[in-house]
């Protein structure tokens, strides 16, 4: 597959800023005048790249995190930019039982899921989890020495026993708040999709998630940006298969 353009969907501005700098992107305004999502664009290694942040909530004045804003960002971005490939980039929690360390960067593979859409009805349980396919990235992961695993999405920062039970069924090794939402839109529209996540906190560790997240957000975002710049360059010159 020839990749001519890449759209990167990022929830938080603090996550996005190092990526914008690393890729040399320039702010070009809102992706849609009616919405808070912001657009940055440029050319990296001959590939047109744009990055969309979810923007700031007009009611609460904070970054628009979690699934609903990410769905909207992705759909509007696709309508406006028609990308060859979508990347959801951001920070996430990892698990020591699967070997995660603070600052690790993961590629989502072979799919992304939801862990907090529990619909205990015939057929709806599978729909709730989703299993949205990511574009094959094993070759890239091996060449770039990146970890891979199932990225699992929920709309809460905490981690309940029910979340754990669901994630254990598909060995979810990265916990975030956006990937499966972006993956759903990408799969519906049949656009190749990759999730790239940097670890801020160890979910099954002893430190409270909110403390670890805040303490490690800058480090994880810098690692994310460095690896994402390499990923975009790799994608511009290689087939992922």
- Count CB-CB contacts under 10 A for residue 58: 8
pLDDT value for 240: 58
| Measured distance CA(6)–CA(22) in Å, rounded | 15
pLDDT value for 28: 97
- List of the chain residues with pLDDT < 70: 238-241
Please identify which of the residues 104, 201, 211, 218 carries the catalytic annotation.
Answer: 201
β-bridge pairing 193-202 and 5-10: unpaired
Pick the closest to residue 12 from 175, 135, 147, 176 (CA basis).
Answer: 176
Cis status of the peptide bond prior to 90, with omega within 30 of 0? no
Report the predicted TM-score, pTM, of the whole model to 2 decimal places.
Answer: 0.96
pLDDT value for 37: 98
Pick the closest to residue 91 from 32, 16, 155, 141 (CA basis).
Answer: 16
Is there a catalytic annotation at residue 218? no
pLDDT value for 241: 55
Please identify which of the residues 2, 15, 158, 212 carries the catalytic annotation.
Answer: 15
Is there a catalytic annotation at residue 15? yes
pLDDT tens for residues 163-177?
999 999 999 999 999
Instruction: Say if CB 16 and CB 91 are below 8 A apart.
Output: no
pLDDT value for 144: 94
pLDDT value for 141: 95
């Amino acid at each position: 597959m020839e990749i001519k353009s890449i759209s990167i969907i990022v929830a938080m501005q603090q996550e996005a800023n190092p990526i914008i700098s690393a890729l040399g992107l320039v702010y070009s305004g809102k992706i849609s005048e009616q919405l808070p999502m912001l657009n940055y664009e440029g050319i990296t290694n001959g590939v047109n790249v744009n990055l969309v942040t979810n923007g700031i909530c007009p009611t609460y004045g904070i970054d628009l995190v979690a699934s609903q804003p990410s769905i909207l960002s992705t759909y509007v971005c696709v309508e406006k930019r028609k990308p060859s490939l979508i990347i959801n980039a951001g920070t996430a929690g990892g698990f020591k039982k699967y070997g995660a360390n603070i600052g690790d960067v993961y590629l989502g593979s072979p799919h992304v899921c939801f862990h907090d859409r529990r619909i205990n009805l015939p057929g709806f349980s599978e729909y709730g989890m989703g299993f949205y396919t990511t574009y094959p990235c094993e070759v890239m992961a091996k060449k770039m020495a990146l970890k891979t695993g199932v990225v699992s999405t929920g709309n809460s920062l905490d981690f309940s026993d029910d979340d754990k039970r669901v994630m254990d069924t598909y060995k979810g090794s990265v916990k975030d708040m956006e990937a499966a939402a972006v993956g759903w839109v990408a799969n519906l529209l049949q656009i190749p999709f990759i999730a790239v996540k940097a670890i801020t906190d160890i979910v099954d560790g002893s430190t409270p998630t909110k403390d670890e997240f805040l303490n490690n957000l800058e480090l994880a975002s810098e690692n994310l940006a460095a690896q994402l710049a390499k990923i975009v360059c790799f994608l511009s010159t290689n087939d992922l298969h």
